[in-house]
């Protein structure tokens, strides 16, 4: 009987995929298909949980099959992250008029990412204090205690590295190993390696222009091929979101969420406040927030469901360049940097809230100004090199809590709602990277305002 039910659930998923495929054949817009996938996934997930309950074997085995579509899509996107970063950054830099633009471009992007992380930490601190959150009021079971022990064990791996050593991790010693994602900082290492190649081409222009021209032709060809693959993969976005959302909703234990509802509500309050701050920042730089929201919602939806900033890079770059009018090099740098540093949700709000919650258990006053200012600075510094995949927030929290001399094991009490909170955090991370791209583009006059203002502009994944 159980096997029959699993097969039935898989068949229903295939039917829903068929609905999305029909919408594609009828030339419904990409945005409409993405939100249709989201809505169908939520409804299907709710029905599955109502019929079987979240912890049932039927749900577990059904979602294993759902993962073929959901995580299969995420892996295809991850497959394209490194090739896309390499060819895009090399291409962007070698087409610059001079090296000065590269330094200014990178500096502005990093400045926006890190400064907004400081603001995000402040929002997290205020929210945690307003909601009067405290880890002492949270009761944990065996799973939470096990997670706490795991965090303490992982802390030993992190604590041994000083800040200079952590920064040194960004420098690629073996770029080919980094292309495999061998290290936590592999993405940023590939960015640096690609930047060196681009700068080298600019230098080769002066000494051996023929070789430089030949290399340019090779990169242009590679760029065309990579972007074609990215386009093919992005067409699968509605299907991936459908499966990811169905799995997430079906496997979420509502009772656990209710037990930690204060933390969930506080977290999403902070995330929404920070998102509004992003929109206000864009308004200051002359961008219409309504147009912006309409164009980036598909990207944020995927980030929300996939919980991976790194996997969102291809869609992020495409949206910035094709829909928001951001120059290609800036779009690639902001998306790449934003997946590895200055993540407002994972490295800003979350560690700050945890520190405020845990501080009373260590005899520290979370409302003390010295504690607050120290925490903000620590959060900003530790936000460098946070991996843009699931678990990045945990790593950032370990660094922040250990630096503030707070016990890390108490963070394990929140393991049960971690996936739900991580969805919102990831969407905020990606939104921050796009905000950094737009602000940098505006300052450097590298935003096509006609493309940005075109309300009908959309990535045409059907005919690209």
Q: Find tokens 């997930």 and name the residue.
A: 45
Q: Is residue 464 part of a domain?
A: no
Q: Is residue 411 part of a domain?
A: yes
Count the neighbouring beta carbons within 10 Å of the beta carbon of residue 153: 10
Q: Is residue 81 part of a domain?
A: yes
Q: What is the extent of the structural domain holding 384? A: 2-453
pLDDT tens for 201-254 read 888 888 888 998 999 899 989 988 988 888 888 888 899 989 988 988 887 777
Q: Find tokens 């936000």 and name the residue.
A: 383
CATH of residue 248 = 1.10.3860.10
293 pLDDT higher than 50:
yes
- Are 397 and 408 within 8 A, CB to CB? yes
Per-residue pLDDT at 268 = 95
C-alpha–C-alpha distance, residues 81 and 310, integer Å: 7
295 pLDDT higher than 80:
yes
Per-residue pLDDT at 163 = 61
Where is average pLDDT lowest: 101-115, 142-156, 210-224, 442-456?
142-156
Q: Is residue 174 part of a domain?
A: yes
Structure-model confidence comparison of residues 165 and 161, the more confident one? 165
Per-residue pLDDT at 423 = 86
Find the DSSP H helices in 160-306. Answer: 163-168, 175-178, 186-207, 209-234, 237-250, 254-259, 261-284, 289-306
Domain count, the chain: 1
Per-residue pLDDT at 136 = 65
Q: Is residue 463 part of a domain?
A: no
C-alpha–C-alpha distance, residues 77 and 430, integer Å: 15
Per-residue pLDDT at 100 = 57
- Are 51 and 6 within 8 A, CB to CB? no
C-alpha–C-alpha distance, residues 353 and 126, integer Å: 9
Structure-model confidence comparison of residues 275 and 35, the more confident one? 275
- Strands (DSSP E) contained in 372-444 are none
Handedness of CA 374, 377, 382, 388 (dihedral sign): positive
- State both tokens at 251: 């496997």
Q: Is residue 462 part of a domain?
A: no
Q: What percent of the chain has pLDDT over 90?
A: 31
Q: Is residue 459 part of a domain?
A: no
Q: Is residue 186 part of a domain?
A: yes
Per-residue pLDDT at 78 = 80
Per-residue pLDDT at 149 = 52
* SS3 state of residue 454: coil
388 pLDDT higher than 70:
no
Structure-model confidence comparison of residues 416 and 342, the more confident one? 342
pTM across the whole model: 0.81
154 pLDDT higher than 60:
no
Q: What is the mean pLDDT of residues 58-77?
A: 89
- CA dist 88 → 227, 265, 304, 408 (Å): 9, 39, 25, 39
């Amino acid at each position: 009987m159980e096997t029959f039910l699993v097969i039935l659930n898989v068949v229903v998923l295939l039917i829903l995929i068929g609905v999305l495929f029909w919408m594609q054949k009828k030339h419904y817009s990409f945005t409409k298909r993405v939100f249709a996938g989201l809505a169908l996934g939520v409804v299907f997930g709710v029905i599955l949980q109502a019929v079987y309950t979240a912890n049932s074997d039927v749900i577990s085995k059904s979602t294993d099959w759902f993962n073929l579509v959901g995580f299969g899509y995420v892996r295809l996107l991850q497959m394209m992250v490194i090739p896309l970063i390499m060819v895009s950054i090399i291409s962007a830099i070698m087409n610059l008029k001079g090296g000065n633009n590269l330094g200014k471009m990178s500096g502005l992007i990093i400045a926006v990412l890190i400064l907004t992380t400081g603001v995000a930490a402040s929002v997290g601190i205020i929210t945690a204090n307003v909601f009067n959150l405290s880890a002492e009021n949270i009761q944990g079971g065996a799973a939470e205690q096990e997670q706490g022990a795991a965090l303490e064990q992982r802390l030993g791996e992190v604590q041994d590295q000083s800040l200079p050593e952590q920064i040194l991790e960004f420098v690629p010693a073996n770029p080919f190993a980094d292309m495999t994602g061998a290290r936590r900082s592999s993405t940023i290492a590939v960015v640096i390696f690609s930047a060196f190649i681009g700068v080298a081409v600019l230098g080769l222009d002066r000494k051996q222009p023929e070789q430089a021209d030949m290399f340019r032709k090779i990169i242009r060809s590679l760029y065309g091929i990579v972007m074609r693959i990215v386009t093919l993969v992005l067409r699968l976005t509605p299907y991936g979101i459908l499966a990811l959302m169905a799995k997430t909703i079906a496997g979420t234990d509502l009772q656990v969420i209710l037990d930690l509802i204060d933390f969930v509500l506080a977290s999403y309050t902070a995330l929404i406040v920070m998102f509004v701050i992003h929109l206000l920042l864009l308004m200051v730089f002359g961008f219409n927030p309504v147009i912006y929201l309409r164009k980036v919602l598909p990207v944020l939806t995927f980030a929300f469901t996939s919980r991976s900033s790194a996997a969102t890079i291809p869609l992020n770059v495409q949206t910035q360049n094709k829909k928001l009018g951001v120059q290609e090099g800036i779009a690639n740098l902001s998306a790449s940097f934003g997946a590895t540093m200055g993540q407002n949700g994972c490295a800003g709000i979350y560690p700050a809230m945890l520190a405020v919650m845990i501080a009373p258990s260590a005899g520290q006053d979370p409302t003390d100004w010295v504690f607050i200012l120290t925490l903000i600075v620590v959060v900003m510094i530790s936000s460098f090199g946070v991996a843009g995949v699931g678990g990045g927030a945990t790593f950032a929290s370990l660094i922040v809590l250990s630096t503030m001399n707070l016990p890390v094991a108490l963070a394990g009490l929140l393991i049960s709602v971690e996936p739900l909170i991580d969805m919102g955090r990831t969407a905020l991370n990606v939104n921050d990277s796009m905000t950094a791209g737009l602000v940098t583009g505006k300052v450097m006059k590298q935003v096509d305002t006609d493309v940005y203002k075109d309300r009908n502009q959309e990535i045409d994944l059907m005919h690209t």
